[in-house]
Amino acid sequence: MSMAMAIEEKDLDSLEKRQNFTASIIGCTRNGLSLAHLLAEAGFKTILADKNHGVINFLKNGNTSFLEPELNALLKKHAKNGCLKFTNDIREASSKSDVILLFVQTLIDQKKKPDYSHIEKACKEVGTTMRKGCLIILASTIGVGLTERLIKEKLENASGMKAGIDFGLAYSPICVSSESNFKNFAATTQLVSAVNEQSLRSACTILNTAIKAETVRIGSLKTMEAVDLFENAFQDVNIALANEFAQFCERTGIDFIEVQNIANSHSNFQLPTPRITKESVAKASFLLLDEAAMADTKLPLLTLARKVNDEMLHHTLRLIIDGLKECNKTVRRAKVSILGVSSHANMKEIHGSATKKLVNLLKKKGIVVRVYDPLFSYKELVKKGYPAERTLKEAIEQTDCVVITVGHDQFKQLNLKRIRFLARKSAAIVDMGYVIDPVKAMGEGFIYRGLGRGVPTK
């Protein structure tokens, strides 16, 4: 039996006491890995569990999905001293744990409907072996009311125990923005709600010990779920507006980035950067729209924002085709080099990236596509289904168009003269990562296109 659901600050006020508790992270997401390192650093015995054998083997070898040296150092340190262990067996991890944090992701199917099957399976596996008195913390984005309607029900059915009585159950969508690093994660305010006061108090105590940041207690689970969804959906709507502004700028000869820099330097509001939205942001909107449909109500503004943002992938395709035509190149059999498959700049993270979809759209047009990302090996990209090249030189040699999809620092150092020498005569650059100076690109003889970059064209 565990005492985690009734844990108090005095039970964790020393390293020796914290070493008596084991925490499991179910689902090796970016946020899950970050929290695992913080728990281990605080002294908790920590288990990372994921059904994906490749992910666990990768972690066992001392690697993470990030280019953050501090995370890599901590992983190796805690794996070596035994504070951090790895397994593909969720049931085994749950049976040894006092605290179980669920980072299993909600999926969105082809019909834009939520798919909770992975979370349901994880709850069943956790429930069959979890100990009486343990604390479960759901840390994934979920629909309004689903913590009690789905998570609580699945755990109770699998375990034969009652939430709030035999085990604690809390909800805290533990996350940090994609642009933030590990240090920011450790200092990020966390919002927590739970099925009862005891679960809430215990969850806050655990998270405060690991994260060392302010913890805000939310009385209602449904309110907490709505806060998480609203925050992400709000970002989705703002990006949609920026995407519309960007297309306006392209048509009217205005550079959106110049407008953004000026506006953000003196205004109370902040213009976001136009982009193809990441999966995590889009997911919240789809979950809200699904919940709205079940509640027999509509969210027309959010529906429109989703339509605008979904269209940005096709807008990228139009920029590429426009650039090729400006170079007097036929679209079919043109060679296009895509630089970047990461979903976030300077991070070895594919989850949420739209590059694979862009590759497929280009191939349907009869375009020959080559892909390169300095953060991934040739074998890694091929294994993930990309038409990869081993080096940057091979990727851009004899290309008709270079497409930069993400703003890696390495891409900011691209030698335009060198690219011009390797590419075919009259080549285009389509910059979606805002790493190339349009004036310099055109000065080197390239046809330049960029999202929101309404700069003079040839």
CATH value at residue 275: 1.10.1040
Domain identity same for 414 and 323: yes
Residue 78: what pLDDT? 76
Last residue of a domain, one of 181, 198, 219: 219
Name the strand (E) or helix (H) holding 382. Answer: helix 378-383
In degrees, rounded to 5, the angle at the alpha carbon of residue 11 between the alpha carbons of residues 9 and 17 is: 130
Domain identity same for 56 and 171: yes
Domain identity same for 304 and 357: no
Considering its fold, how many domains does the chain have in total? Answer: 3
Domain identity same for 337 and 289: no
In order of 271, 272, 357, the CA distances from 244 in angstroms are 12, 12, 21
Tell me how far apart the alpha carbons of residues 107 and 115 are, in angstroms, rounded to a whole number. Answer: 5
Is the confidence at residue 431, as pLDDT, over 60?
A: yes
Mean pLDDT over all residues of the chain?
91
Residue 133: what pLDDT? 96
Q: Is the pTM of this model over 0.85?
A: yes
Percent of the chain beyond pLDDT 70? 95
Tell me how far apart the alpha carbons of residues 261 and 394 are, in angstroms, rounded to a whole number. Answer: 35
Give 76's Cβ-side CA count (13 Å radius).
9
Domain identity same for 117 and 41: yes
Domain identity same for 258 and 344: no
Task: Determine the average pLDDT of the residues in 307-322.
Answer: 96
CA 289 to chain centre: 20
Residue 226: what pLDDT? 95
Q: Where are the alpha helices (DSSP H) in 212-220?
A: none
Percent of the chain beyond pLDDT 90? 75
Tell me how far apart the alpha carbons of residues 97 and 25 are, in angstroms, rounded to a whole number. Answer: 10
Tell me how far apart the alpha carbons of residues 142 and 140 are, in angstroms, rounded to a whole number. Answer: 6
Length of the chain measured in residues: 458
CATH value at residue 334: 3.40.50.720
- Residue indicated by tokens 């596509």: 369
Which pLDDT tens digit goes with each residue over 64-111? 555 466 666 777 787 778 888 999 999 999 999 999 999 998 999 988
Domain identity same for 260 and 397: no
Contacting residues for 139 by C-beta, under 8 A, at least 6 apart? 31, 32, 35, 101, 102, 103, 172, 173, 174, 175
What value does the CA radius of gyration of the chain take, rounded to a whole number of Å? Answer: 24
Domain identity same for 189 and 144: yes
241 part of a folded domain = yes
Residue 86: what pLDDT? 92
Domain identity same for 264 and 185: no
Task: Determine the average pLDDT of the residues in 206-223.
Answer: 90
Is the confidence at residue 269, as pLDDT, over 70?
A: yes
In order of 44, 149, 217, 228, 373, the CA distances from 136 in angstroms are 16, 15, 16, 18, 38
Instruction: Tell me the pairing of strands 168-171 and 135-138.
Output: parallel
Last residue of a domain, one of 309, 335, 350: 309
Domain identity same for 327 and 293: no
458 part of a folded domain = no
Which pLDDT tens digit goes with each residue over 135-171? 999 999 999 999 999 999 999 999 999 999 999 999 9
In which band, very low, low, confident or very high, does the pLDDT at 285 lie, cut at 50, 70 and 90?
very high
**DSSP notation for 145-185:** THIIIIIIHHHHHHHS--BTTTBEEEE------TT--HHHH
Task: Determine the average pLDDT of the residues in 304-310.
Answer: 95
Domain identity same for 140 and 186: yes
Last residue of a domain, one of 270, 286, 309: 309
Which pLDDT tens digit goes with each residue over 85-96? 999 999 999 999
Domain range for 381 is 312-450
